[in-house]
Amino acid sequence: MPNSRDPDVFRRDLLVSAAASAAVMTAPSLAGAQQAGSAVPAMKVSFTVNGKTRDLQVDTRTTLLDALRESLHLVGTKKGCDHGQCGACTVIVDGRRINSCLTLAVMHQGGSITTVEGLGTPDKLHPMQAAFVKHDGYQCGYCTPGQICSAVAVLGEIEAGIPSHVSTDLNVKPQATAAEFRERMSGNICRCGAYSNIVEAITEVAGRKA
């Protein structure tokens, strides 16, 4: 006798059965992945932040940016793109500027880290901070901490004789020019477009140093 069952109902039952089988087979894998994820070890790291020794117990996957913001509550350092493309998270580590979202906290054991909070205070601004205020080197202000940290480090790079892509002679110490500032600051994005004002601020501070 031919099967009189509705073919649509049969197909639906088959799909439900297949989905249930797949769920059963996948469950152990998911459980294993979750268990493996919870096994990631924590590690103690000690470094100097803005002149103070700080000891942290962090997941080995924690970025320096998240350690500064979430563990030390230094929220002046901003999380922008979280992919090293905007520069909002720039801090100075052992005298060199880095994107703190691209490096792990545990990689800086014994290091010296300076964030925007360590450059100056509202009562005693760092010269670069004061110059940014004077020249309106910001609008929304979100990128400003990274811009200022980067600008301070840029003058240090020029003073140390480190060339850039626009340095005309690699055997001659680079000069503090607008072209050098623009090239070296190109990794810090200002979506408000205050670039000319930022260059003016850096130029003023560089002039004082000269």
Q: Which two tokens stand for residue 197?
A: 């004002």
Same-domain status, 112 and 167:
no
Whether 191 maps to a domain, the answer reads: yes
Say how far apart CA 184 and CA 188 lie, in whole Å: 9
Whether 31 maps to a domain, the answer reads: no
Cβ pair 155, 205 in contact under 8 A: yes
Query: What's the pTM?
Result: 0.79
Whether 4 maps to a domain, the answer reads: no
What are the pLDDT digits (tens) for 49-94?
A: 999 999 999 999 999 999 999 999 999 999 999 999 999 999 999 9
Taking residue 81's Cβ as centre, other Cβ atoms within 10 Å add up to 13
> In which band, very low, low, confident or very high, does the pLDDT at 30 lie, cut at 50, 70 and 90?
very low
Same-domain status, 110 and 156:
no
* pLDDT value of position 50: 97
Say how far apart CA 98 and CA 64 lie, in whole Å: 10
Say how far apart CA 1 and CA 4 lie, in whole Å: 9
Q: Give the position of tokens 């906290």.
A: 105
Q: Which two tokens stand for residue 34?
A: 């979750």
Cβ pair 89, 77 in contact under 8 A: yes
Q: Give percent above pLDDT 90 in the chain.
A: 77
* pLDDT value of position 168: 87
Whether 2 maps to a domain, the answer reads: no
Same-domain status, 150 and 102:
no
Same-domain status, 183 and 110:
no
Tell me the CATH number at 151: 1.10.150.120
Domain range for residue 78? Answer: 42-118
What 3-state DSSP class applies to 3?
Answer: coil
